[in-house]
Every structure is written in C-alpha cells, then in structure tokens.
Structure 1
Amino acid sequence: MPEQLTLYGHRHSSTSMIVAIALSEAKAEHTFYEVDLRNKPAWFAENINPAGKVPAITYGGPTVPPDQPSPQSTKLAESLVLVELVADLHPAAGLLPSDPLKRAKVRFFVTTVQTRYLEPYFHWFAFGRPGAWREIYEGARAIQALLPESGEGYAVGEEFTTADCVFAPAAGRTKIAYERGIGRFPPEEAVQLRELMDAPEMARFRAYVGRVLERPSVKANFGEDWVAEGTKVVVELFNQRDAASAST
C-alpha cells in the first residue's frame, strides 16, 4: 500500500498547481488541504513548513486529519523538490525519464522556464516593469528552441514529464495576461506581446502550449476562466496594498 501523502496548497497558487498536476498525472492517491493564504493557520508554519509557504506535503506516518499532522510523517516543501519526489515515488508515470541525458534535458527545460519565462512574467504582471513583456517573448523563443524539432509531443519528447508540469501554470497564466489584459501593465503592452506570440514564427511554441493546456491532468488543476477570475483578485490586492502604502 502507498504511504499517505497530503498536499497543502492553494487552488490559485501556480506552484501548488505544479505539484497537483504531477499527482494527477501519476494517479497518486493523496489528500489536498486548501491553505488560506490570507489567514494562514498557526499550525501550518509550526508543524508543516516553517517558511509558511505552499506547496508543502506530509508523507508517510498514520492517516490523520490534515490540520493535525503526525510527527511520524516527513514534511517537505518547494514545488521543484516535490514534483521530482512524485516522479520518483511513481516511476511508472514517466514524469522523469530513466535516461540520464533526458533527465538533464528535463531539468534544463525547467530552469529555462523559471528564469527566462516565469520571472519576467511575474515582474510584468505584478509591477508592470518596462520591457518585461519583451523578455517574456524572448523567453518563449528560448523555450521553443528546446522543443522537439518534429513539432509534436512535449518538452523533451512524447512523454509528459515534470518539465511540462512546471511549464503548464506559467504558460496558462501568461496566456491569460496578454489575451485578456489582466495584470498591472499598460494595455498596449499586452497587445504587442500577443501580436508577437501569434506570429507565424511562434507556431511551434503555440502548439506546445495548446497540447499542455489540454492535457487532462492540467485541465483538472488549471481552468482558464476561474484562474483569470482569481488573477483579477490578486491584481486588486496589489493595487490596494500600493494605495495603502502611498497613504502612509
């Protein structure tokens, strides 16, 4: 019998989605506990993750209520650590290739997504940093260059891997931002980015994004409409925070 696994996350957290997608892909039995990010319970930092961040998991030990974690369970955090743990616990899912070179390609792809695509997106979406929208486009080009030349499959071939788990929320959120104009950036920048993303030379990237977002494990944990609504809430929270800071 598999060990108990409880994922502590938030429905709108991209990093939580990464782990949730991997668990869905592996068809892993687990319990999900929604952590209120605006009012985190004290026991979460005390007994699960001292950093107070999601996602986090408990693994092993007896089956207990999620808000009463057992001292016998192992507590772990950080999405990239957790997604590889899921892959190692469920090797039959193929989330990490057995071939060392392919495993390295998966990890290099993840690093490219994190540094060349996700990082500028966050600064553009949250702060409207000038020029970040063009960095997102250049990051998409860098990702496209890593995709199989056949124009089919996923990040490193036919198998859906941890690289695709990491990419899916980043791709979906970026697509929502520039297609629906949701974020703290000038509207004209979203139009400019969409024009570049829709250009013929980005066809391989767009096709890959489409395949990833249609994957059942992704659709189960990332819905464009409800993510878009949640993203609007985040934007408003940023605006309220800045307004409060300006008034003090």
Structure 2
Amino acid sequence: MTPPNHIVLYSNRFCPYAARAVLAMAETKQVHEVVQIDLNTPRPDWYLHINPYGQVPAIKLDDKDVILESLIVAEYISDLHPEAGLFPTDPLQRAQIRYLIQHWGARTHPAYYKAAFTIDESSAKQRHQDFITELEKVDELLRHADRKGSVGHYFLGEKFSFADLALASFLTRIPMVEHFQHGFKFPTAHENPKLARFIEWREAVIARPSVKTLPSKEELAEVYKKILKKA
C-alpha cells in the first residue's frame, strides 16, 4: 500500500464516531491535518461535496480520494500502520473484534441511548435495567474473547486493539446516564459480578492516554444538557 503524502481529517470533537478516527490517528502516530465541522449548523456546500450526508468523520487523501464512515476511516488508518498492531493477524480475533463492535452498535448503544435520554420517569427504571442487562451480555463477550493467554485488561489482553479503539468514546459516555438520571447508580463489580469483566475493560480503555484526550465528563455533561433541553 502506497501511503498518501497528506491526510485531512474532517471531524467534530464531540462526535463519538469521529473519535474513532481521532484515536486511530493518535495510536498510529499518523501525521494529518484536522478540520472541525460544526454539527449544529447546516453544512457548507464545500463539505457536502466531500460527504453528501454531511457526517463526520471523513478523510481526504492527497486532495483527491475521500473515505467516509467512522469504522472504515479508522480501519484504513490502521492498515496504513500494521506496526501499531491494532488489528491482529489471527482470523478468530479479528472476527471477535468485528462482532463486538457490531453487537455494541446494534444492541448496546440503543439501550444506552434510551437510558441516557429518557425524560419519562415512569419508564426510566426499566430503561436503566435494560441497559445493565445489555452490558451483562457485553461482559460475556469480553470473557469469551480469545486472548491467546494474555492477561491484560483490554479486549484481547495486554494489547490495545481496534475493538478498544472503536468503542472507547462510547465507554467514556456511560457516566452520563448516572449524571442526569436521578435514582440511578451504576453498580460496582461487587454489587453485580456479571459486570466485573466489563468494568475492568472500561476502566483500562478510558485510562489510555489517547482516550484521555477525548471530551471530559464535564464537557460531555454540557453537551448532553442541551440535548435533554431540546427533548
């Protein structure tokens, strides 16, 4: 693969999907230019020529080729830098990484969204329980990951992988459920052993130096406050 000479990343600091590209750049030490796109205003025509849907992230390579969609952008950057080891060579581990990401998007994130943004007190308790139930299923996936004997806390053990990168920004947002929903407190591993592996994994991922550069809990709270007001 011939690497491009110049990469422009179109991003937004508070978009959890754009964070995938941001983390891929950081973990691979890929040199790039960043253009921030305001997602609260209509997209300018010049950006719609890059991404007709106006979404982020997108990257432009050498001012000609464009790549869209967060996972595809992040995987492309990972492929440019196999030395970073974000994707293992083992087929089973690669499949498990992809399934964890797919499962989170299809099952876990919808449950999180309902729990975080509920304004109906009568349904809040059930939505919170549904979210915890989904996280218990993620815990099972984490426990059954083929870590090749590695005993670290990331998805595949000691090595930070594409699975950790792709879901990191969503893991940083989990406290928002507790922050805004009175009466809900995220359980500890002692209180709910079915979440022990998940909690261990989440704590390891959010402590990663690259992940610490993402918006803080306080910054996210301000963003979520505006969303809840609109709701």
Q: Does 1:225 align with 2:218?
A: yes
Distance 1:128 1:22, change over 3 A: farther
Compared with structure 1, are the counterparts of its residues 29 and 177 closer, same or farther at alpha carbon in structure 2 (3 Å cutoff)? same
Instruction: Name structure 2 gaps, 5 residues minimum.
Output: 145-149
- The one of 85, 88, 91 equivalent to 2:76 is 85
Residues 1:50 and 1:6: Cα distance change in structure 2 (over 3 Å)? same
Q: Mapping of 1:52-71 within 5 angstroms?
A: 52-59=54-61, 61=62, 70=63
| 1:147 partner SS | helix
Equivalence for 1:205: 198
Shift of 1:148: 4.5
TM-score calculated relative to the size of structure 1: 0.79
Q: 1:111 corresponds to which residue?
A: 102
Aligned counterparts of 2:86 and 2:162: Cα–Cα separation in 1: 5
Partner of 2:152: 152
Q: Take 1:208 and 1:167, find their aligned partners in 2: how far apart are those partners?
A: 11
Contact kept, 8 Å, 2:115 with 2:177, in 1: the verdict is: no
User: Which aligned pairs between 1:177-192 and structure 2 lie closer than 5 A?
Assistant: 177-178=177-178, 180-181=179-180, 187-188=182-183, 190-191=184-185
| Alpha-carbon distance between aligned partners in 2 of 1:128 and 1:104, rounded to the nearest angstrom | 37
How many residue pairs get matched?
218
Answer yes or no: is the 8 Å Cα contact 2:139–2:196 preserved in 1: no
Residue 118 of structure 1 aligns with an amino acid whose one-letter code is H
Task: Report Cα offsets for 1:62-86 as digits up to 9, x if no partner.
Answer: xxxxxxxx3xx21121111112111
1:140 aligns with 2:135: yes
* Aligned partner of residue 173 in structure 1, secondary structure: coil
What is the RMSD of the two structures over their aligned residues, measured on CA atoms? 2.2
Secondary structure, aligned partner of 2:17: helix
**Displacement after TM superposition at 1:89 (Å):** 1.2
TM-score by structure 2 length? 0.85
- 1:25 is displaced (CA, Å) by 1.0
For residue 14 of structure 1, give the secondary structure of its aligned residue in structure 2. Answer: coil
- TM-fit CA distance, 1:228: 2.2
In structure 2, the residue matched to 1:43 is: 46
Query: Which amino acid in structure 1 is aligned with residue 16 of structure 2?
Result: S
Contact 1:152 1:208 survives alignment (8 Å): no
Gaps (5+ residues) in structure 1?
A: 62-69, 240-248
State how far apart, in whole Å, the 2-side matches of 1:116 and 1:151 are. 27
- SS of the equivalent of 1:95 reads coil
Instruction: Write the letter of the residue equivalent to 2:45.
Output: A
Distance 2:69 2:16 in 1: 12
Q: Deviations over 1:8-42 (max 9, x none)?
A: 11111111112111211111111111101122222
Shift of 1:206: 1.3
Partner Cα distance (2:164, 2:119) in 1: 27
Measure, in 1, the Cα distance between the counterparts of 2:117 and 2:66.
31
Secondary structure, aligned partner of 2:66: strand
Tell me whether 1:9 sits opposite 2:11 in the alignment: yes
Q: Percent identity?
A: 29
- Judge conservation of contact 2:100–2:163 (CA < 8 Å) in 1: yes
Shift of 1:222: 3.5
Q: Could you tell me which residue of structure 2 aligns to residue 124 of structure 1? A: 115
